[in-house]
């Protein structure tokens, strides 16, 4: 098939969703094994401290360079050649090697110390993670070429192999010696990085040789198989004739400047660096605070990480697809630069109705999680980590409060998504500054509240941060629709019938929390079905509309 960027992007996105789900299941299973058989302290060292080191090194080394390089189009312009792109991509290796020195020193000497039994293993693991990051970036040029030329299947196969090798080696070592879990983690990291390097260069060695043979055989079309035609005939712009050209300084420079690096590409890279540093802080802010703050033990860090991963499943697998679809709908329906009063009334009323129904739907899901999470957090965590994991009550408290964060996360995703979809460019720039304030406030609040409340302080800080963003976006929505006599924010009120049923369900489930497990689960199932029926009765019009459209899609 012809190389299609849009098609490969959609295909890659679909495979990535499936891959993320499978990886999440595998990660949860391994973490549950570690919690039950090794200990939470070890899990905290690996999942918080060591993975944070890996994330920091890889993100700061390649994110800005990769984003800038993807913006270049060497096939369509002589301003930036493939030689300059390959040279630019290879800069990730010395940058990562240079970053390893201060980062490993900070991880070993500045951050809170690990317990004495794990000191030697932790030191080895820090060096191993740093080396694995450098090793992984040795294959970055091949990864970039595969991405540009849409080798989607290659990416999926190697990512799967990477996860499989890392997990298999880790479990093989740990099952033989539970006390060597951190060493097992380090060896698994090195092995998986080596897998990426060998896999990528092995594939391109085969592909380039086969491609050269195809070009020679193209003079005799009858000798070509259908598979060869499909694989190579739409790769006329593939610039590599030997594997060594994927190394720096080998491919001849064909740009107008003739230099080894492109100045415009480097300027663009520097602009992405500024964004990347802030993005890394926002993405991994909690882990940085955990690592710097001495008030949380590694066991508490591991407990928070496990609960956070469990609680965020709804955001990844339910709210995120809804938010993405809603964002696309609002961008296509509402004009950014025109006031609502001057836009087609039918579209505005439809957008208001859709926004109201979306807020109603996601807030109802969040309220269900909040209601049943108070009574079933202990049960879920007991199944996941066993009696020892839930001892002391900290995991249960974390998950109970995290259910409140789920509700706020649901509302914030839709309200803020609508704001981003309909804001003017000037408003977006203005909000970016406000987001920086929110982010800094979150880090400060996280540090203060964890000192007061322990790991629960992270959830409090997150809830305060999201509440502030919800209030800002709600104010924007209300001001937009107020002059038209519309109020889509009514979707935040679930109705008396559903609210009353939720209150009754929460009371009954809490009353039965100390009963026999089957009775407790049975009560939750019964009251859950009752809540869904109450919601359906309270929103009959919405259910009928969904049923009608569902039948139409099925018929079509």
User: Would you list the DSSP string of 107-161?
Assistant: IIIISPPPPGGGHHHHHHHHHHHHHHHHHHHHTHHHHHHHHHTT-HHHHHHHHHH
pLDDT for res 426: 76
d(C-alpha 229, C-alpha 117), whole Å: 59
pLDDT for res 2: 40
Of the CA atoms within 13 Å of residue 390, those in its CB half-sphere come to 15
* CA diameter of the chain: 80
Give the alpha-carbon dihedral of 87, 93, 98, 104, to 10 degrees: 160
- pLDDT tens digits for 513-556? 888 888 999 999 999 999 999 999 999 888 887 777 656 544 54
pLDDT for res 550: 59
Q: What is the DSSP string of 380-396?
A: HHHHHH-HHHHTTSHHH
Closest CA to 111 of 374, 366, 289, 335: 289
d(C-alpha 402, C-alpha 308), whole Å: 7
d(C-alpha 357, C-alpha 349), whole Å: 12
The helices-and-strands tally (H runs, E runs) of the chain is 23, 0
User: Phi/psi at 237 (nearest 5 deg)?
Assistant: -95, 10
Q: Give ∠ CA 414-418-424 in degrees, rounded to 5.
A: 155
**Are the C-beta atoms of residues 45 and 118 closer than 8 Å to each other?**
yes
SS3 443: helix
State pTM to two decimals: 0.79
Domain boundaries, the chain: 7-251, 308-493, 495-556
d(C-alpha 275, C-alpha 280), whole Å: 9
Residues of the chain with pLDDT under 50: 1-6, 9-10, 76, 255-256, 553-554, 556
């Amino acid at each position: 098939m012809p190389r299609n960027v849009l098609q490969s992007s959609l295909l890659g996105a679909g495979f990535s969703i499936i891959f993320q789900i499978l990886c999440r299941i595998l990660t949860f299973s391994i973490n549950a094994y570690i919690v039950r058989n090794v200990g939470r302290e070890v899990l905290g060292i690996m999942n918080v401290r060591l993975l944070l080191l890996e994330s920091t090194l890889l993100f700061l080394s390649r994110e800005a360079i990769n984003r800038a390089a993807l913006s270049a189009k060497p096939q369509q312009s002589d301003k930036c050649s493939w030689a300059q792109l390959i040279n630019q991509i290879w800069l990730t290796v010395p940058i990562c090697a240079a970053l390893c020195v201060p980062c490993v020193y900070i991880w070993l000497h500045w951050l809170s110390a690990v317990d004495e039994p794990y000191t030697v293993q932790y030191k080895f693991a820090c060096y191993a993670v740093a080396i694995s990051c450098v090793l992984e970036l040795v294959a970055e040029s091949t990864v970039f070429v595969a991405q540009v030329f849409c080798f989607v299947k290659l990416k999926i196969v190697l990512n799967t192999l990477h996860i499989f090798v890392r997990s298999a080696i880790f479990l093989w070592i740990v099952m033989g010696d539970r006390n060597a879990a951190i060493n097992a983690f380090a060896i698994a990291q090195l092995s998986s990085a080596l897998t990426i390097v060998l896999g990528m260069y092995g594939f391109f060695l085969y592909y380039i040789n086969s491609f050269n043979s195809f070009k020679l055989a193209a003079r005799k079309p009858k000798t070509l198989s259908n598979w060869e035609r499909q694989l190579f005939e739409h790769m006329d712009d593939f610039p590599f004739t030997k594997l060594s050209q994927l190394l720096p300084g080998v491919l001849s420079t064909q740009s107008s400047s003739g230099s080894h690096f492109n100045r415009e590409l480097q300027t663009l890279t520097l602009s992405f660096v500024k964004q990347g540093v802030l993005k890394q802080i926002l993405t991994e802010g909690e882990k940085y605070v955990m690592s710097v703050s001495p008030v949380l033990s590694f066991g508490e860090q591991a407990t928070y990480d496990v609960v956070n991963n469990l609680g965020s499943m709804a955001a990844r697998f339910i709210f995120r697809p809804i938010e993405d679809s809603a964002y696309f709908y609002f961008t296509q329906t509402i004009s950014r630069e025109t006031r609502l009063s001057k836009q087609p009334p039918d579209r505005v009323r439809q957008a208001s109705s859709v926004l109201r129904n979306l807020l109603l739907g996601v807030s109802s899901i969040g309220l269900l999680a909040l209601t049943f999470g108070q009574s079933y957090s202990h049960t879920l965590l007991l199944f996941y980590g066993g009696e020892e994991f839930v001892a002391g009550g900290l995991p249960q408290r974390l998950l109970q409060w995290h259910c409140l964060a789920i509700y706020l996360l649901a509302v914030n995703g839709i309200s803020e998504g609508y704001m981003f979809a309909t804001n003017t460019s000037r408003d977006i720039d203005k909000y970016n500054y406000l987001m920086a304030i929110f982010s800094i406030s979150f880090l400060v609040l996280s540090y203060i509240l964890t000192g007061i409340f322990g790991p629960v302080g992270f959830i409090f800080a997150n809830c305060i941060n999201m509440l502030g963003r919800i209030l800002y976006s709600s104010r924007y929505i209300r001001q937009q629709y107020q002059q038209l006599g519309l109020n889509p924010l009514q979707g935040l009120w679930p109705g008396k019938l559903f609210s009353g049923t939720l209150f009754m369900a929460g009371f009954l489930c809490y009353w039965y929390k100390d009963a026999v497990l089957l009775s407790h689960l049975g009560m939750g199932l019964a009251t859950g079905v009752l809540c869904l029926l109450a919601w359906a009765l309270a929103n009959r019009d919405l259910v009928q509309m969904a049923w009608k459209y569902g039948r139409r899609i099925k018929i079509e």
